[in-house]
Structure formats: structure tokens, C-alpha cells
Structure 1
Amino acid sequence: MKTRKVGIIGVGHVGSHCALAMILQGACDELTLVDIDKQKAKSQAIDCMDTISFLPHRTIIKDGEIDDLTDMDIIVISVGNLTADKNRLNELKGSIEMVKSFVPQIVKNGFKGIFVVITNPVDIVTYYVQKLSGFPHNRVIGTGTGLDSARLRKVLSQTTNVDPRSIQAFMLGEHGDSQVANFSTGTINCKPILDYLKENEDTIGKLDLDQLEHKVAQGAWDIYAGKNCTEYGIGCTCSDLVQNIFHNERRVIACSAYLQGEYDYEGIYIGVPAIIGKDGLETIIELPLDERERTKFKKSCEIMSSYIEMAKNY
């Protein structure tokens, strides 16, 4: 029986909670934690191991070095920090420098698995991890708008009093300010969102969809204002993606995927729904967009393209 192995590079607030979420959900059998601060990685591994007696799944957690990740099935990249200026794009130079320092080494050592990228700005960093690794695009996936889509379902749930698991809706585009809510094809209780909201206007009121979209996009900064980081939601987002791969679930989730003509764009990674399975990204789901969504998605793609060009100088 094959042991499912995951390595996490960067175990600060985000990486450590990715580890915890995977342990709690039994997503993998072995976890190796790597950080530039070796004592932090060691301490996080010990702290995580202290939970095992309370859980239904046994996971071996240890700290290690980049060279210990060669036989991993999945490597999660979660280096870097969220900036206080409310613009993930301003993290680009530092993030590119960090991934350049270890991705080529990992590939040279013989890693043959799948990269899952969280480091911001995640769409652009995912693009460069793929370039640095030379891996097929299906084996380099960013968390993208996976967390934003969960926030959209949360906001709609709070507004309509419908369980978020009965809501199907995605945020598209950049994991950042230019993301767009796909209201036109989403559903609530199996009904189109726009129809459901209109039918229930007498109980939930007339909603401002642009305001709801803005609330989702600003979700991270509302959290950051009180604790200077986000960690729980992205931890579960990462674990969900990892489980999709290990269990070959072939479930549709939002992630940062490489466009090759889908949505009339190509050559960039950006947040879209996709089918994820044992080989990574299988198929991008191309949703029909209304005029508002097409315009905003186009703008988001153009922003990503411009920053990809900018990063070539780093």
C-alpha cells in the first residue's frame, strides 16, 4: 500500500495550518515540514505530533530540509507573508526570489510529484513555479480563488440562511482585488442564484450584488485587521485540494489553473473552476459569463499578464 507523502515549504501561519488541516482530515500519511527557520519547522512538527493521540488517523510529521522532499507526492509552497498594504501584488518580487531559491533544486533532486502553490500573488507565483520546474501545467496548481469561492458561499449563506453546502458559486480571476463573482451561473438550493434571490426578495430583501462581491474580495483584510494574518480558511483550502488529488475525487473546485484558450485567454494562471484528480488538474470548466463578468474577468487577466511580464525582470 502506497504511503501518501506531503512536504510543506514555509510553516508560518499559513503553512502550519495547512499541516494541521491535513492532519485533522487524514489527508496524508506523512508530512515533512521545511522552513528557513529550522527551529520553527522542528517546533511545528513536534506540536503537530502532539495532536495524533486525539485523532482517528495516524500521520507521521517531521521537520526536514529541501533535500528531504524528493520522494514526496505533493509539495505545498507557502513561503512569504501577507503585506499590510492590502495589495498581494506587492509581494511579487520577494516571492519570486524565494521560489527561485529552491524550486530548481527540488526538481534537480528528482521530485516527480505535484506542486500546490499558496504563496502570493498566487496566480503569478504559480506561473513561475511551472516555468522554473518545467513540469506539465497539470502538475503545478495554485490555490487561486478556492478560498475566495468558499468566502462567496459563506456570504451568500449568511445573507440567505441557506447552508453553504447547498450553494454552488465561484469567484473567478485573480486571488486579489480584481476577482469577480460568477452570480449568473451559480445556484442556491439547485436554483439559479439570480432567480432564487428574486423569488425570496420579500424575506431577504433586495441585495446589492456588487457589494456582496466586494465583501468577498475584502474578506482577507477584514481578518488581517484583527490578527495580522489569515490561516484557518487557507489551511482547509489546501487540504481540500490535496485530498482531491490523493483520493482521485475528480470534484470541481476553484484553483489557479493555466489557461490554454479557455475563456478566450492563454498563457496565464488564474482562478477558475477545474476538475482535480490523481494526476493534478484534469479539465478546466469553462462557465458561461454575462457581460459584467466577462468585462471584469478580462481586466483581471490583463492585470495578471502585466505582472507576469514585470516579474521577468526579477
Structure 2
Amino acid sequence: MGTVTKIGIIGMGHVGAHVANSLVLQGIADELYMTEICSGEASRQAKLDAEVQDLGDSLAFCPHNVALVNCGEDYAQLAQCDVIVNAAGDVSLAATNRDGELFYTTDTAKRFIEPVTAAGFGGVWVTIANPCDVVATEIWKLSGIDSNRVVGTGTALDSSRLKYALSRVTGFDQHSISAYMLGEHGASMFAALSAVSFGGKPLSQLRAEQPERFGFDLAAVEDAARQGGYVTYAGKQCTEFAVADAACRLVRAIVSNEHYITACSTLMTGEYGEYGLFTSLPCVVGADGVEEVLHLDLTDAELDEFHASCAHVRENLGRVGLA
């Protein structure tokens, strides 16, 4: 028999439920442990029960069987998992402000970090809850786990939005484009336009050679990536598919030990002179989480944007006593 892959999810709202469904549909998990922040609220437990039932009803259509475990609020059960996905948030609080969930998500995280840690969790955290970089920093500090074993989805999603925007203006497939949004997953993120390439050819070179195709408005493309989430939210009051898929892509890279390169949130240990906080740079992701952080040759203007973004994360850390 092969190794059984166990994945835990904390929070089965819009995003957590889609993470669960995507893990099942892609055949990533053999056992799926699901929890909810119930606080004695029957409606929250009922929501969790409903999602577990719905997933079970779908198993006949999935690649292989998955054991579905309803853990209620017993977070300690997740300690046996290879990866825990933290999707505990309240997106309505961020309707007009990227930092709107700051106090809710950091307070909520305190409720599950300790019992999971005390139960001996030795796997990898993948955290989605926003502000992503602050919550990732909190999980690292309060759990005492190796920093590489905490991975924030960070700008993995925003980088996908950037590729989608570039695809729309050039006609090239997203998979053929290398492009990263960097910094915090929030308003201060920025596009590393100096590092964008199509099939390995730098965008700067293509703009000189084919101005009719590549002479598009760079600021407009960057803004499309930055504002994509609010376009989605305006229409359905949540974002769910893309961020769930970003998390599942990280989970797959971890359990398959892929050494996959993506932008994601990780601890700064001197990168561009930044220390002690999580934010997004291109990372190599494998079985132990973040294996390596890749350094891009950023322009002076991009470096200024990176430092400004880190300063905003640091400010939010101070607001919740984590600086």
C-alpha cells in the first residue's frame, strides 16, 4: 500500500468548501478532515454537516474515493494531516477594505493554532485567510513551527490574475507567460514587470520588437491584476474558485514534492533587506513547504514598491501585537 495523503481544512465557508471540492475532484487527498469555527452556533455546525454530506454525495463522480471526516471544532484531529489549509475568515468584512478582516482572522487563528500545535502537528500550513501575510506570520510565531512549513497563498492568485490580464491583451496562453505580482496580498502588491516573459523572451524585448502587439498599457494590466478580486466580489459578494484553486495547487506541490515555482507568502530572512515578516516572492515549493526563495533582478522602482508593501504588512502586524 502507498502512503495515505491526509489534508485538513479549517473553515468551510465559500473558500474552504471549494478547497475541499477541488481536492476531491483532483484526487489530491485520500483523507479529508474538515473543521468549522462553530462557537456553539448550530448554524455553523449545520453548514459543516451539509458540506461533508454534499462532498460525499459527489464521490461517485470523482477520480477515486476519499474518506471524509467531520471534525466539528476538534482541531487536534488535524495534527495527523500532511497539510492543513486555513480558510477561516469573513470576506464580508473586506468588502471595502483589503485589511477589513485583520482583527477577525487573527483572533480566530488563536483558537486553533494552539490545539493543533499541542497535538504534535508536523506537517505544512497553507493559509488563505486575509490579510494573508499577517495571518501567516501569526501562525509561524504562535506555533513555533519552522517558517518554511508555513506557506501563504499570498500573490499566487494575483500572479494568476496578472497572467490572465496579459493573456487577454496579447492572445497568448497563460501557461506560456511567466509573470509575478509581489509583496503583500493586498492593495500594496505590485507587478514585477521587469521579470515578465513570454516563452522565455523578456517583455521589454518584445515591446521593442513588436510594439503593435506588446505596446499595451502596462499600468492598466497591473491594475487589472490588482483589482480582479473586487470585480469578482462586486458580482457575487465573495471570491472562491480562483483562491481555492491557488491553495490546492500549493497543496499538490507539497504532497507530491514537486519543487514547484510560484509566488507565495513566506518569511523574509534578508531578502532585499527585509526580515521577520511574511510576504510574497517567487518560491520553490515541495514536501517541506518553501524550499528556496528566488531573487529577481528588480528595478529600483520595483524595490521601492516592495519595501512599501512590507512596511504595510509590518504596520498591520503592529496593530494586532505581532510586530
Taking structure 2 as the reference length, the TM-score comes to 0.94
What residue is the counterpart of 1:34 in the other structure? Answer: 35
- Contact 1:87 1:176 survives alignment (8 Å): no
SS in 1 for 2:281: strand
Rounded Cα–Cα distance in structure 1 between residues aligned with 2:221 and 2:167: 11
How big is the shift at 1:86?
2.8
Rounded Cα–Cα distance in structure 2 between residues aligned with 1:125 and 1:245: 20
Higher mean C-alpha deviation, range 65-74 or range 237-246:
65-74
Rounded Cα–Cα distance in structure 2 between residues aligned with 1:236 and 1:183: 24
What residue is the counterpart of 2:158 in the other structure? Answer: 148
Alignment of 1:51 onto 2:52 = no
Within the candidate set 235, 242, 245, 1:226 is matched to 235
How big is the shift at 1:197?
3.3
Alignment of 1:291 onto 2:292 = no
Higher mean C-alpha deviation, range 233-242 or range 27-36:
27-36
Gaps of 5+ in 1: none
How big is the shift at 1:84?
4.5
- Contact 1:148 1:175 survives alignment (8 Å): yes
How big is the shift at 1:205?
6.2
- Contact 1:76 1:115 survives alignment (8 Å): yes
SS in 1 for 2:34: strand
- Residues 144-175 of structure 1, C-alpha deviation per residue, up to 9 Å, x if partnerless? 00000111111001110000000011100010
Within the candidate set 269, 278, 300, 1:269 is matched to 278
How big is the shift at 1:33?
1.1
What residue is the counterpart of 2:9 in the other structure? Answer: 8
Q: How does 1:98-247 map to 2 (within 5 A)?
A: 98-202=108-212, 204=213, 206-247=215-256
- Contact 1:166 1:188 survives alignment (8 Å): yes
- Residues 6-53 of structure 1, C-alpha deviation per residue, up to 9 Å, x if partnerless? 110001000001111111111111111111222211211111122221
- Contact 2:284 2:294 survives alignment (8 Å): yes
Rounded Cα–Cα distance in structure 2 between residues aligned with 1:130 and 1:292: 30
Question: Which amino acid is 1:248 matched to?
Answer: N
- Contact 1:129 1:140 survives alignment (8 Å): yes
Higher mean C-alpha deviation, range 12-21 or range 82-91:
82-91
What residue is the counterpart of 1:22 in the other structure? Answer: 23
> Aligned-residue CA RMSD in angstroms?
1.4
Aligned length: 313
Q: Percent identity?
A: 36
- Contact 1:145 1:255 survives alignment (8 Å): yes
How big is the shift at 1:313?
7.5
> Which structure 1 residue ranges, 4+ long, deviate > 4 Å from structure 2?
none
Q: How does 1:54-73 map to 2 (within 5 A)?
A: 54-64=61-71, 65-73=74-82
Rounded Cα–Cα distance in structure 2 between residues aligned with 1:289 and 1:12: 37
Rounded Cα–Cα distance in structure 1 between residues aligned with 2:287 and 2:209: 41
How big is the shift at 1:67?
2.7
- Contact 2:26 2:63 survives alignment (8 Å): no
How big is the shift at 1:72?
0.9
- Residues 268 and 19 (structure 1 numbering): CA distance in 2 closer, same or farther, change over 3 Å? same
Rounded Cα–Cα distance in structure 2 between residues aligned with 1:23 and 1:121: 27
- Contact 2:32 2:69 survives alignment (8 Å): yes
